[in-house]
Each structure stands twice: as C-alpha cells, then as structure tokens.
Amino acid sequence: MTRLLGFDYGLNKIGVAVGQTLTRSASPLTILRARHGKPDWPSLAALIEEWQPEAFVVGLPFNMDDSEVDWSPRVHRFGRQLEGRFRRPVHLVDERLTTIEARRLLREGHAGNARSPVGVDALAAALILETWLSEQDAV
C-alpha cells in the first residue's frame, strides 16, 4: 500500500487530502493557508511528518480548451518545491472542474456541508487524488 497526499493548490489556500493505493480512495484532510502563493512550509512539513506519504499528487488547472491557466507556472513551481524539499515524487493531474464538483457534493450533503471544517479546497484535493488513483487502473 502506498500512502499519498493530494493538493488543490491556490494562491491563498491549499487543500490537502490523504489517500492510498490499496482502496484507491482519498479523504479530505485540511486546508493550509498560503500568502501570495507561498505555502506555509512548516505546517506542510508537519503534515508530511505525520502522514509519511510516499508521493504527492498536485492538481494542475486547465481551461476547457485544454490549455493551462495563466497561473499554472505557480502550480508547477509548487510541485518542484515539494519534490525538492521532501524528496518524494510529484504527480500532476488535470484538476478541471474539481472545485465545482466539491461545491456540489457539499451543497447536496454528500460530503458534510458547506460549513464543514474540511471545506471545499480539501474536498477538491481528495477528488484530485482520486482522479490520479483511478487513472492508475488504466495504465
């Protein structure tokens, strides 16, 4: 079994989820604050120490025309920094529509509620991680 951490990177907040390859499932974990796109590295390091993931999955935002969004270079940089700081592989996955799906799930009561402490960003991170896990079946 491989444990992974998934991330929904944003300039102000970073949703975090934990998942594993045995069940190919993920659960929302928390939301970390970011300042102007700079992650809270000490809090992130504490999560990595606690969960001991073997790899990271980071959502990469795309436009509907399959082009990357204008702030995608920041997501690539976050991925490179994760890999460099924590010496674990980083996998990027298309995160298109995950935040919309997370909001829908919360609104319909399928994943807590809109006031849940987990929040939209952590649920989006779980969806991103599950997307990557499901793609591993196809390989």
Q: CA gyration radius for the chain?
A: 14
Using one digit for the tens of pLDDT, what is the confidence trace for 31-63? 999 888 799 999 999 999 999 999 999 999 888
Range(s) of the domain holding residue 121: 3-138
Compare 138 and 38 and report the one with higher pLDDT. Answer: 38
Q: What is the pLDDT at residue 65?
A: 85
17: Cβ–Cβ under 8 A, 6 or more apart, which residues? 5, 6, 7, 8, 26, 27, 28, 29, 122, 123, 125, 126, 128, 129
Identify the bridge partners of residue 20 per DSSP, sorted by sequence position: 3, 25
Count of the separate structural domains present in the chain: 1
Using one digit for the tens of pLDDT, what is the confidence trace for 72-123? 899 999 999 999 999 999 999 988 777 777 777 777 766 654 455 568 888 8
Q: At what angle do helices 72-86 and 41-51 cross, to 10 degrees?
A: 60
User: Residue 44: which CATH number?
Assistant: 3.30.420.140
H or E stretch at 64: none
